[in-house]
């Protein structure tokens, strides 16, 4: 793997720099991220993690520095560097019967607030008579149908398709 | 692109300005211009203070999706529609995204491919679980645009120009970053405050007998009712009774965005964050940098972005620092795409669906 020999250095984003020390908490980015028994893509999967799961950082592997040792769910294993972040994912502000509350990404995903399709008020916006007058094409009502179809195409992409895409990119890097 | 129509609130604002020297920017002068009644003036002052608070309140995901969906449909209409084949048959079926039967047509295959590429990127973003939707606008203009809530569009003209998937991933990641960084909220929150104040002036003007404002009273009443609920933190963003307020905010947001776009810093930060996201997903940042470098300057291409040369220079500076850091670093220093030599990441060919569409 070409990337395996990459050297590590200081992170530079927007002119700033930061460094981690052993034992720092870092976060998973990406769905179904595998924690592997060793620093190799075909190693045994110990556990799969989800966006925002916190893990303890134990440093990069000395021979394959693109793989980083972490502790998660009571297990110690390796995660590919691109699946880790120093920042937790954003929270989402939702309104429930209990009032407004911020949910982390996992709670948000399981709350039913995600994946609802075009918002009812956006639908109502598109159906207003004054938005469908005149000779502008497509009309807003037609636009709504196109957006609903596109949302359906998006919603029907499966985790397996996304995993295959990730594997395709990784394969190109071999 | 066509401008948004003048909104009701803007009409009210104009009327108020004519009545009371709004253009001076002095609130006291504006208030005295709208009303001579002490009671109305006090009520108006209180209302204006409430409006300011609207801009400080965090935006909920339901609000973001309602506004974002409306804004997205404006982008679609102005982009000549989406490259997608809408199923015929029961229109109600369109409301069930998970179960809608999608035809296996070339246009739908292209949209499907775009969503696989885009959602794979978004899964590594800081908002992996919002409802990301990627679409292709019919226009031959070269452009890409996002709307709050996870809507990302690229144009047919842009797809004709991208040479590889790394470039496409860079464009999508740039737009994803606008959504994850909530860049639109800067414009949107100010829009809310200003529209709220316009309505407050309009309401005060109506009380004082302004004839022009009185004719908009029925519409303004529904909007003011929604606005009161919003100020009180109890607006139901899923209730269609509040559609007029969503229309008011969305139309003005669209107007303002088309007028000025995002700030230069927001665009450059989206470039940086986009490169990080694309690299974290395994793409070479070179694809995006080269693509931006091919954009002709001074035309209606990424209309409000900084000049391509400035963007390329900023990205190369960042990548140069990264490479230097990766060469001088040592094992044990932090991870992150930027702690690696990104030049080794691949330039992936376009998938069959896009290649065929080109």
Q: Tell me, what's the ipTM? A: 0.85
Mean pLDDT of B335-343: 60
Chain A interface includes B93 (CB < 8 A): no
Contacting B residues, span 231-290, partner chain A, CB-CB under 8 Å = 233, 237-240, 242-243, 246-247, 250, 269, 272, 276, 279-283
Q: How confident is the model at residue A46 (pLDDT cuts 50, 70, 90)?
A: very high
Q: Does the CA dihedral A45-A47-A50-A51 come out positive or negative?
A: negative
Give A9's contacts (C-beta < 8 A, 6+ positions apart). Answer: B322, B324, B325, B326, B327, B328, B329, B330, B333, B339
Contact assessment for residue A11 and residue B328, using Cβ atoms and an 8 Å cutoff? no
Q: Is the pLDDT score of A121 beyond 60?
A: yes
Q: Which of B335, B337, B344 is the mutation pick for testing A, counting most A CBs within 10 A?
A: B335
Q: How confident is the model at residue B4 (pLDDT cuts 50, 70, 90)?
A: very low
Do B121 and B148 reside in the same domain of the chain? yes
Do B169 and B212 reside in the same domain of the chain? no
Is B91 part of a structural domain of the chain? Answer: yes
* A148–B94 C-beta distance less than 8 A: yes
Q: How confident is the model at residue B80 (pLDDT cuts 50, 70, 90)?
A: very high
Do B96 and B146 reside in the same domain of the chain? yes
- In the listed set B160, B181, B202, which residue is the last one of a domain according to the structure? B181
Do B112 and B191 reside in the same domain of the chain? no
Is B174 part of a structural domain of the chain? Answer: yes
Chain B interface includes A133 (CB < 8 A): no
Q: How confident is the model at residue A10 (pLDDT cuts 50, 70, 90)?
A: very low
Q: Is the pLDDT score of A130 beyond 80?
A: yes
- In the listed set B112, B146, B181, which residue is the last one of a domain according to the structure? B181
Is B284 part of a structural domain of the chain? Answer: no
Find, in chain A, the residue whose alpha carbon is nearest to that of B249. Answer: A125
Beta bridge partners of B133: B151
Q: Is the pLDDT score of B8 beyond 90?
A: no
CATH number at residue B138: 3.30.2010.10
User: How far apart are the C-alpha atoms of B164 and B171, rounded to whole Å?
Assistant: 11
CA–CA min distance B36, chain A (Å)? 36
Residue B325: per-residue pLDDT: 56
Is B352 part of a structural domain of the chain? Answer: no
Residue B98: per-residue pLDDT: 87
The total of structural domains in chain B comes to 2
Q: How confident is the model at residue B89 (pLDDT cuts 50, 70, 90)?
A: confident
Helical packing angle, B61-78 and A140-155, nearest 10°: 120
Do B49 and B72 reside in the same domain of the chain? no
CA–CA min distance A135, chain B (Å)? 12
Best mean pLDDT range from A94-98, A127-131, A140-144, B99-103: A140-144
Is B92 part of a structural domain of the chain? Answer: yes
Do B54 and B65 reside in the same domain of the chain? no
* A151–B348 C-beta distance less than 8 A: no
* B85–A136 C-beta distance less than 8 A: no
Of the listed ranges A2-16, B110-124, B285-299, the one predicted with least confidence = A2-16
Q: Is the pLDDT score of A118 beyond 60?
A: yes
Chain A interface includes B333 (CB < 8 A): yes
Do B107 and B250 reside in the same domain of the chain? no
Do B54 and B189 reside in the same domain of the chain? yes
Give B90's contacts (C-beta < 8 A, 6+ positions apart). Answer: none
Find, in chain A, the residue whose alpha carbon is nearest to that of B269. Answer: A14
Mean pLDDT of all residues in chain A? 84
Mean pLDDT of A17-21: 60
Segments forming the whole domain that contains residue B27: 8-58+185-260
Do B169 and B255 reside in the same domain of the chain? no
Contacting A residues, span 46-75, partner chain B, CB-CB under 8 Å = 51, 57, 59-60, 62, 65-66, 68
Q: Which CATH class is domain A2-85?
A: mainly beta
Q: Is the pTM of this model over 0.90?
A: no
Mean pLDDT of B4-17: 44
Do B172 and B242 reside in the same domain of the chain? no
Measured in degrees and rounded to the nearest 5, phi and psi for residue A57 equal -85, 125
Measured in degrees and rounded to the nearest 5, phi and psi for residue B170 equal -65, -45
Q: Which residue has the tokens 């607006």?
A: B235
Mean pLDDT of all residues in chain B? 83
Nearest CB neighbour to A29, from listed B73, B124, B283: B124
pLDDT digits 0-9 by tens, B260-291: 899 999 999 999 999 989 988 889 999 999 99
3 state SS of B133: strand
Mean pLDDT of A135-163: 94
Give B23's contacts (C-beta < 8 A, 6+ positions apart). Answer: B17
Question: Which chain A residues are Cβ-neighbours of B81 within 8 angstroms?
Answer: 137-138, 142-143, 146
Q: What percent of chain B has pLDDT over 70?
A: 79
Question: Which chain B residues are Cβ-neighbours of A173 within 8 angstroms?
Answer: 282, 344-346
Angular region, B131: left φ>0, alpha ψ -120 to 50, beta rest: beta
Is B300 part of a structural domain of the chain? Answer: no
Mean pLDDT of A104-111: 90
Is B208 part of a structural domain of the chain? Answer: yes
Do B76 and B127 reside in the same domain of the chain? yes
User: How far apart are the C-alpha atoms of B44 and B232, rounded to whole Å?
Assistant: 17
Is B123 part of a structural domain of the chain? Answer: yes
Mean pLDDT of A27-35: 89
Q: Where are the domains of chain A?
A: 2-85, 117-174
């Amino acid at each position: 793997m070409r990337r395996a020999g990459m050297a590590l250095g200081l992170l530079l984003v927007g002119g700033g720099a930061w460094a981690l020390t052993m034992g720092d908490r870092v976060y998973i980015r990406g769905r179904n991220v595998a924690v592997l028994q060793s620093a190799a893509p075909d190693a045994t999967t110990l556990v799969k993690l989800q966006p925002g799961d916190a893990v303890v950082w134990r440093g990069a592997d000395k021979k394959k520095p693109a793989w980083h040792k972490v502790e998660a769910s009571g297990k110690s294993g390796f995660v590919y560097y691109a699946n880790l972040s120093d920042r937790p994912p954003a929270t989402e502000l939702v309104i429930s019967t209990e009032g407004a509350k911020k949910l982390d990404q996992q709670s948000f995903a399981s709350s039913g607030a995600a994946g609802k399709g075009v918002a009812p008020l956006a639908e109502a916006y598109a159906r207003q008579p004054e938005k469908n007058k005149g000779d502008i094409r497509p009309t807003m009502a037609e636009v709504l149908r196109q957006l609903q179809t596109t949302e359906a195409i998006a919603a029907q992409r499966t985790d397996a398709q996304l995993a295959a895409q990730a594997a395709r990119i990784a394969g190109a890097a071999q | 692109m066509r401008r948004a129509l003048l909104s009701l609130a803007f009409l009210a604002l104009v009327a108020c300005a004519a009545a009371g020297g709004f253009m001076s920017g002095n609130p006291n002068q504006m208030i005295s211009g709208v009303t001579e009644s002490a009671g109305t003036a006090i009520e108006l002052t209180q209302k204006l203070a409430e409006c300011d608070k609207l801009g400080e309140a965090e935006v909920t995901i339901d609000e973001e999706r309602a506004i974002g969906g409306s804004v997205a449909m404006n982008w679609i209409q102005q982009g000549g529609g989406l490259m997608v084949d809408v199923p015929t048959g029961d229109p109600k079926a369109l409301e069930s995204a998970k179960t809608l039967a999608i035809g296996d047509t070339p246009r739908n295959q292209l949209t499907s491919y775009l969503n696989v590429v885009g959602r794979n990127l978004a899964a590594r973003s800081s908002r992996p679980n919002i409802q990301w939707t990627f679409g292709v606008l019919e226009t031959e203009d070269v452009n890409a645009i996002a709307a709050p809530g996870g809507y990302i569009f690229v144009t047919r003209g842009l797809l004709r120009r991208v040479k590889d998937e790394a470039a496409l991933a860079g464009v999508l990641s740039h737009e994803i970053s606008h959504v994850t960084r909530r860049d639109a909220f800067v414009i949107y929150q100010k829009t809310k405050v200003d529209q709220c104040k316009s309505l407050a002036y309009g309401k005060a003007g109506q009380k004082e007998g302004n004839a022009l404002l009185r004719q908009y009273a029925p519409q303004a009443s529904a909007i003011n009712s929604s606005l009161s609920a919003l100020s009180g933190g109890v607006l139901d963003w899923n209730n269609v009774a509040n559609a007029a307020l969503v229309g008011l905010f969305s139309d003005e947001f669209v107007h303002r965005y088309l007028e000025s776009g995002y700030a230069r810093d927001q665009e450059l930060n989206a470039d940086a964050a986009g490169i990080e996201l694309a690299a974290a997903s395994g793409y070479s940042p070179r694809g995006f940098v080269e693509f931006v470098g091919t954009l002709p300057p001074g035309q209606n291409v990424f209309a409000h972005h900084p000049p391509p040369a400035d963007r390329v220079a900023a990205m190369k500076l960042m990548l140069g620092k990264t490479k230097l850091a990766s060469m001088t670093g040592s094992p044990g220093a932090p991870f992150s795409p930027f702690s690696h030599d990104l030049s080794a990441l691949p330039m992936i060919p376009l998938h069959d669906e896009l290649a065929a569409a080109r």
